[in-house]
Amino acid sequence: MRYFTRIFFVLLCCVAIYPVPLWAQKPRQKPLVVNIDLKNKAQIIDNFGAAGCWYAEGIGKYWPSEKKERIAELLFSRATDAQGNPLGIGLSAWRFNIGGGTTEQGDNSGIQDVNRRVESFQNPDGSYDWNKQMGYTWFVKKAKNYGVPQLIAFSNTPPVQFTQNGLGFKTEKDYRSNLQPSKYEAYTDFLTEVLSHYEAAGLRFDYISPVNEPQWDWSGKFGEAKQEGSSWRNDEIARVIKALDNSLEKKKLTTQIILPEAAKLTYLYGETSAASRQIQAFFEKSNPLYLGNLKHVPQLAVGHSYFTDEGDSATIAIRQQVADTARHYGIRFWQSEYSMLANGYREGAKTRRTAMDCGLFLAKIMHQDLTVGNATAWQFWNAFEPGKPDFDTRYYLIALQPNATHTDGNFSQTKNLWAMGHYSLFVRPGMHRLNITRNDKATALAAAQQVMISAFSNDKDQLVVVAINYEPVARDLQLAVKSYPKGANYRRYVTTAAPEDNMKLYPSGKLNQPFSLPARSITTLVVSR
């Protein structure tokens, strides 16, 4: 009897230790092995940035110093706290909106939201007031003080005194520019005067974009318009770019012009509107609108990733087209605006998406733009907007809770902020993206719902690997890096749904050891020789 009692006791212990029979347990997946060759280079990275539109004015001009300083730190800092956790996401570019004067018009601007009206530096009599846009300028100065290497200026509309209807938006849905035909030189001279002023103050803009999303009609009923904006046809864009190139040359400025700031990536290579096939229009030498020979126009096409994220297959196919077209014409590609304007980020779900869902989807789009589209720069819209930090954080990196007059308020970090930081803080201008291979042979399409990996190197002593685990289970990853010592150390930064896991420094390790990617997480490894 004692013998059977002992047998029964042993069986009970086994059930307690192994609630699922050993024969029924699934074997642990083998590590995903990623092979990296530092000589197998893809594109050079120019920058990672964000726009500080609309709400920069109130924050920079009125908010208490402690609050706005922390917002600037979150966006621009590359420092860490005492535990080694990043204090910010270290953006390497900042986008500044040159306003069109709708603030001065007040309700006569026709723009409903007072926070989306923007001042103009030029008065209607032609004089300049450099005390305008002081809140916007505060952030430009902070970016410069933090060492942000690239500043980008852009304009949504010419000053209202130069537009055909005297407004900062269109009232006719004709898809033509709102700029008066006789005011092209006046408009571009205004832009270069602004650039000259800031450069004299030690705030040089590396790039200027005079046209933004030219494919949208930007029309609305008076009093219901959402923001400043103007349509532009390709021939109108060519005319304004030539005028701006000439004005920059006259003022002896070295700022480069970026174009066409296409509203969707598909307008860069396809579509059928008067503002379509823009790479071919501006970079095909036989085209009458060719601009590639202008001194201030780099071999670069710029577009926005909005509305190109509905399903993994379409997302990848569009970016392959962009990469192929840019490669054919020997130019680079920038993605200069993206947030989750459309519903692709919901991925079929009808319910609200959590902050981590949004952060993971943002990381996915960045990954596809970089690895499939070969983007050399990636910029987010918008750095901060009113909202909450926990659900559907689709439009912003920092969620604002302003007071009624936008002169004070509170703010919250989002998972989007740190998702972007996994790239922006560690992948610095001048680094190369590296082509990689994987032991699971997963295609870009398959990896989009599993584990996405990208790698970058500075050619000296640092390798950066970003891993996005889209799966609801942890996955083991192992790196095999050619010409790196197998015992090389890495630092590991992780973002998960946990409130405390915001690019948090996890335990370090050695290159030849597998490590775990938490379920639904983003991880950046910084490997040093």
Note whether 205 and 164 are same-domain residues: yes
Note whether 251 and 385 are same-domain residues: yes
Domain total in the chain: 2
User: Which tokens go with 315?
Assistant: 């997302």
Note whether 464 and 364 are same-domain residues: no
Domain endpoint, select from 376, 402, 433: 433
**9 located within any domain:** no
**264 located within any domain:** yes
Q: What CATH number is associated with residue 141?
A: 3.20.20.80
Tell me the per-residue pLDDT of 137-172, one tens digit each, with 9 for 90 and over. 999 999 999 999 999 999 999 999 999 999 999 999
Q: List Cβ neighbours of 357 (8 Å cut-off, separation of 6 or more).
A: 345
Predicted confidence at residue 270, as pLDDT, reads 98
Note whether 446 and 394 are same-domain residues: no
Q: List Cβ neighbours of 84 (8 Å cut-off, separation of 6 or more).
A: 491, 505
Note whether 193 and 178 are same-domain residues: yes
**10 located within any domain:** no
Note whether 448 and 492 are same-domain residues: yes
Radius of gyration of the chain (CA): 25
Predicted confidence at residue 461, as pLDDT, reads 83
**8 located within any domain:** no
CA 392, CA 396: separation in Å to the nearest integer? 10
**3 located within any domain:** no
Note whether 426 and 439 are same-domain residues: no
Note whether 414 and 444 are same-domain residues: no
CA 175, CA 239: separation in Å to the nearest integer? 16
Tell me the per-residue pLDDT of 86-96, one tens digit each, with 9 for 90 and over. 999 999 999 99
**78 located within any domain:** yes
**16 located within any domain:** no
With a threshold of 0.75, does the pTM exceed it?
yes
Domain endpoint, select from 433, 452, 480: 433
- Identify the H or E element spanning 475: strand 475-482
Tell me the per-residue pLDDT of 14-55, one tens digit each, with 9 for 90 and over. 444 444 443 344 455 789 999 999 999 999 999 999 999 999
**13 located within any domain:** no
Tell me the per-residue pLDDT of 402-448, one tens digit each, with 9 for 90 and over. 999 999 999 999 999 999 999 999 999 999 999 999 999 999 999 99
What is the average per-residue pLDDT within 480-497? 93
Q: Predicted confidence band at 483 (pLDDT cuts at 50, 70, 90)? A: confident
- Cα 511 to Cα 352, 473, 483, 499: the distances in Å are 39, 23, 12, 28
What is the average per-residue pLDDT within 3-23? 45
CA 55, CA 386: separation in Å to the nearest integer? 9
Predicted confidence at residue 28, as pLDDT, reads 57
Note whether 344 and 248 are same-domain residues: yes
Predicted confidence at residue 20, as pLDDT, reads 43
> Reading across the β-sheet that carries 332-337, which strands appear in turn?
256-257, 207-209, 150-155, 93-98, 47-51, 377-380, 332-337, 300-304, 260-262
Q: What CATH number is associated with residue 462?
A: 2.60.40.1180
Note whether 97 and 201 are same-domain residues: yes
Predicted confidence at residue 352, as pLDDT, reads 87
Note whether 357 and 339 are same-domain residues: yes
- What are the phi and psi torsion angles at 483 (to 5°)? 75, 0
Predicted confidence at residue 8, as pLDDT, reads 47
DSSP string, 424-441: HTTS-TTPEEEEEEETT-
Predicted confidence at residue 6, as pLDDT, reads 52
Domain endpoint, select from 391, 413, 433: 433
Q: List Cβ neighbours of 101 (8 Å cut-off, separation of 6 or more).
A: 118, 119, 120, 122, 159, 160, 161, 168
Cβ neighbours around 6 below 10 Å, total: 10
Domain with 77, as residue range(s), is 48-433
Note whether 394 and 448 are same-domain residues: no
- Cα 439 to Cα 34, 364, 429: the distances in Å are 7, 21, 30
